[in-house]
A = this chain, B = another copy of it.
Amino acid sequence: MRKIAVLGIGQTKIDEHWEKSLREIAGDAAFAAMQDAGVEKVDALFVGNMLSPLINGQNQLGAYLADWIGLWKQEAVKIEAACGSGAAAFRAALMAVASGDIESALVVGVEKMTDKAGRDVTAALATAADADYEVEQGISFVGINALVMRRYMHEFGWKHEDFAQFSINAHANAMHNPYARLHEKISVEKFEKSSMVATPINLLDASPIGDGAAAMVIVPADKVMRKPRVVVAASAVATDTIAVHSRKDPMFLQAAYASSKHAYEMAGVTPKDIDVFELHDAFSIMAALSLEASGFAERGQGVKLALDNEISPKGRVPVCTRGGLKARGHPVGATGVYQLVEVVQQLRGECGQTQVADAKIGMAQNIGGSGATILTHILRNDT
């Protein structure tokens, strides 16, 4: 498999973009990535999106966006893996360029979620769970995560406030990211007093939805003169049962374990070598579970990394350095591309006050459903 590099990145601020259409938001990120890459054309477009059929009445986003961006006649396709759609689109692009069939690809993750009422969005998000055996019972997606969090607290003896640092770190980092949805510092007190969503998950445990797009241009590494050069060191994906109740242990992200293990092997690294880890903190419990399954903490001890403040940009395992899903925002099908773009920013040293010193190796982990599809990518500054 030939080595692939990231030539350009782009992103929009995540917000309620009622003034822009789905295609305009995606186009803004795509044009930014192509400008950053210094290219006017690519061989193919890979779009990550989950909800456009349900929220925007639009399918076939590949052709739809190729048309808007001006990539006429070019290959274009959409990839969907629930909230893991963004990284799945990146991986599809990676495979296509790696095969030698094409020489460049544009990856765009996009979602426009705020045009519908909250209850419609909640119903749409529930399509990530098992329609027949979970959703049919009336449980929402946040409800499923709440069950997992409650069990975790019971099993490992953590209190709700012990999770606060995940959100505090994310919000603190987002203050320095102009593209983040939320620019608001929070405290343990504020965390504990925020309104309940589904016990024990409250508003500050949960990531906000939003409208936004992120994009990347990838090409074979030997074609990149730019320095620093960021290459893809590993790409791995694994799945688990779609329904959480089918798992032997609902508190262990089997697919995070499998995909991160595979990724470490491909890149020839261990968790200790990862300088920055953009994880999928859709809910604070998922941040803890992701750290544990990916080898950064023992079972039940992911929360301790946060409590000990090891997750800040100056800590041992910096996570959510641009705000994470919690504060940068979670436009679901776009999130995986945002994570990868942010890892590239870290490896290029473009993160200002939340820059991780000497970041050479970064990891992004994107999760679809309650751990059903998990993609782990490792990028490296190989300048």
Please tell me which one of the listed residues B77, B81, B373 contacts residue A237 in the complex, with CB atoms under 8 A apart: B77
Please tell me which one of the listed residues B57, B77, B79, B98 contacts residue A373 in the complex, with CB atoms under 8 A apart: B77
Least CB distance, A252 to chain B, in whole angstroms:
13
Least CB distance, A365 to chain B, in whole angstroms:
15
Contact A131 B372, beta carbon cutoff 8 Å: no
Contacting B at CB under 8 A, from A227-284, are 235, 237-243, 246, 254-255, 258
In the complex, A73 has a CB within 8 A of chain B: yes
Contact B99 A58, beta carbon cutoff 8 Å: no
Least CB distance, A27 to chain B, in whole angstroms:
13
Residues of B within 8 A of A208 (CB): none
Q: Given A59-B50, A128-B60, A373-B62, do A1 and B101 touch, yes or no (CB 8 Å)? A: yes
Q: A100-124 vs B: 1/0 string, CB under 8 Å?
A: 1100000000000000000000001
Q: Given A60-B81, A95-B96, do A238 and B368 touch, yes or no (CB 8 Å)? A: no
Closest to A61 in B: B80
Closest to A44 in B: B237
Please tell me which one of the listed residues B59, B73, B92 contacts residue A254 in the complex, with CB atoms under 8 A apart: B73
Number of copies: 2
Contacting B at CB under 8 A, from A191-232, are none
Contacting B at CB under 8 A, from A284-316, are none
Most buried by B among A73, A75, A238, A368: A75
Contact A72 B239, beta carbon cutoff 8 Å: yes
Residues of B within 8 A of A81 (CB): 60, 62-63, 76-78
Q: A77-91 vs B: 1/0 string, CB under 8 Å?
A: 111111010001001
In the complex, A74 has a CB within 8 A of chain B: yes
In the complex, A187 has a CB within 8 A of chain B: no
In the complex, A16 has a CB within 8 A of chain B: no
Q: Complex formed: what's the CA distance from A64 to B126 in Å?
A: 13
Q: Complex formed: what's the CA distance from A258 to B368 in Å?
A: 35
Residues of B within 8 A of A189 (CB): none
In the complex, A54 has a CB within 8 A of chain B: yes
Q: Complex formed: what's the CA distance from A61 to B57 in Å?
A: 19
Residues of B within 8 A of A131 (CB): 56-58
Residues of B within 8 A of A73 (CB): 238-240, 254-255, 258
Measured CB to CB, the residues of A under 8 A from B are 1, 21, 23, 50-51, 53-54, 56-64, 66-67, 71-82, 84, 88, 91-92, 94-96, 98-101, 124, 126-128, 130-132, 135, 235, 237-243, 246, 254-255, 258, 368-369, 372-373
Identify 5 new A-B residue pairs, CB closer than 8 A, beyond the known A60-B81, A63-B372, A77-B237: A58-B131, A60-B82, A63-B82, A67-B242, A79-B79
A-B contact pairs, 16 of them (CB 8 A): A1-B101, A57-B131, A58-B130, A59-B80, A59-B128, A60-B81, A60-B82, A60-B128, A63-B372, A63-B373, A67-B240, A71-B239, A72-B239, A73-B254, A95-B99, A98-B99
**Closest A-B pairs by Cβ, 5 of them:** A63-B372, A98-B99, A59-B127, A60-B82, A99-B99
